[in-house]
Structure 1
Amino acid sequence: MRELKILAVVVVLTLITYWGVEPFAHSQMHPHVEAPDYTFEDVQADITDVKALTGNAENGAILVQTNCTACHSIEAQGFPQIMDDASSAAAYGVVPPDLGTSGKLYNPDYLAAFIKDPAKASKTSHKFVDGKVHPMPGYGWMQPQEIADMVAYLQSIAPKEMTDKEVFKDACQRCHGIKYGDMKNGTMSAKTPVENIKAYMGKIPPDLSQYIRSRGAEYIHEFVNDPQKHLEGTAMPRVGLTHDAEKQVVSYMEKVGDSKKQEREELGPKFLIYLVIFAIFAWLWKASKWREVH
């Protein structure tokens, strides 16, 4: 009977700690933030005139090729990168992305807002003060139809399917490396040289190999969707990914940084069953010994 009382006390204290102290500590260290917004509600007012129009991909092709290919490549459409990564980074601060997959990766409303005003759409206006300007000029001077045409073109040339790794490379690898993705060959290092990205961002963006373990999938979704929610004033831009593209980024990070997740989750119930069986045998053994004593 004494053992049961001791067990009850331990269980109560454990529950108080787990359900009382731990959630409070977590709420202080990780304050609640709003759920990710994949409609990008804050840019809707800026693109009302664009959304009311139907884009013409053929006209958009001319506009994109005329205004964008001096800095951006579109390899799949025969527009190679004009400068190598080092030269591009030195000129712009960060390697400009290839636009061939942007129509699939990025929310179309975000794309339209980004074309009009990159700093505002990406929530990095606080970086570009005192004469500093975003490396990509805003095209707010364009007619709404022209912006709609550009978005339509980018969507028309985007691939229908992409692997998780391909999505990560196009969405994240310009700034972030994930060295555990290819330790031997180093192909998953950040594309922008360290000295350039440090000058552009203010610090070196972290390698993401283990971020799925240290931060968790929910945090990464919230952070990618809007970094300012968790780290106000951060230099990391809001990326503007669709929900599906963002899930693929997280999926790739899990494959690299938490490859044993499924195996671990499958082992958990088996281990608990083992503990229950072990506890039953331990109790039976104890009962038999006490019967001998008495």
Structure 2
Amino acid sequence: MKKLLSILALAGACFAAAPAMANEGGYPLEPAPVQTSDLSSLQRGAKLFVNYCLNCHGASMMRYNRLKDIGLTDDQIRENLLFSGEKVGDMMTIAMPPKDAKAFFGATPPDLSVIARARGDDWLYTYLRTFYRDDNRATGWNNLVFPSVGMPHVLWELQGQRAAKFVEVEEHGEKVHKFAGFEQITPGKMSTLEYDQATSDLVGFLDWMAEPAQNQRKRLGVWVLMFLGVFTVFAWRLNASYWKDIK
């Protein structure tokens, strides 16, 4: 019994430490204000995804007609989200061959079908908000969360161009460069609050796309737990009644 408790305690400690280990030594992640039950937010996120992400990244596990689950009709999908002759029942794939994509960016852009599961909402939200100009990079852009990233800042028109300021400090006897804030170079089409909301919408859509049935699963889970709670009471009383005459 003691051995079992020790194993469970060790497993709990590992799970508790996992988030900290995932970002150890990197730029601190900010909580993503994502609401996958907000259909308006998901619809805005879908529009951003199709307009800015789907040019290079595919979502090969998602069909356009699945967007009806977030309140869009076939006509709305056809008029607002299909631009290259795709059909409503097609997968969200891209026309760019992987070979060309690798030549342009140095690596094939990953499929984004389950990127929210792989990276997490907080990582994606912080990543999309920490691009900065870097003339030493081939794309002209760098990122605090993903240093030396090969992807350019596709949302720069919305956020504007920013430079990152670094200061030299001494840590453990060594001089290191630490991030000291952003400096706005050119304004974007959106204010800071509007851009933060836009990235939240986009990350929310990526989260929903990774598991479109998640809201239904959560609602069903509540009923399952309620049923199990009631069933436990009946099972407990039935067990007591069955064994009451046995001493």
TM-score, normalised on structure 1?
A: 0.46
Q: Which consecutive unaligned segments of at least 5 residues does structure 2 have?
A: 32-42, 66-85, 132-142, 160-194
2-structure distance, mates of 1:14, 1:286: 31
Partner of 2:224: 271
Aligned to 2:28: 34
Question: What SS is found at the alignment partner of 1:266?
Answer: helix
User: Who is 1:233 aligned against?
Assistant: 148
- CA 1:255 to 1:29, structure 2 compared with 1: closer, same or farther past 3 Å? closer
Match for residue 174 of structure 1 among 49, 55, 61: 55
RMSD: 3.5
Paired residues of 1:177 and 1:208 also in contact (CA < 8 A): yes
Give the one of 6, 16, 20 matched to 1:23: 16
Any idea what SS the aligned residue of 2:147 has?
coil
Q: SS state of the match for residue 292, structure 1?
A: coil
Q: Is the 8 A contact 1:175 1:197 kept in 2?
A: yes
**Identical aligned pairs, as a percentage?**
22
Note if 1:202 corresponds to 2:102: no
1:262 pairs with one of 203, 215, 240: 215
Normalized against structure 2, the TM-score is what? 0.53
Report the 3-state secondary structure (helix = DSSP H, G, I; strand = E; otherwise coil) of the residue aligned with 1:291: coil
Q: Tell me which residue corresponds to 2:171.
A: none
Could you say which residue in structure 2 is the equivalent of 1:222?
126
The aligned amino acid for 1:225 is R
CA distance 1:265–1:245, shift in 2 (3 Å): same
The within-5 A match list for 1:45-84 is none
Q: Counting strand residues as a fraction of each chain, which structure ranks higher?
A: 2
- Give 1:165's aligned residue: 46
State the distance in 1 between where 2:46 and 2:224 align: 33
Deviations 1:148-175 (A, max 9, x none): xxxxxxxxxxxxxx84332112221222
How many residue pairs end up in the alignment?
163
Deviation, structure 1 residue 264 = 1.5
Listed as ranges, the gaps of 5+ residues in structure 1 are 1-5, 38-161
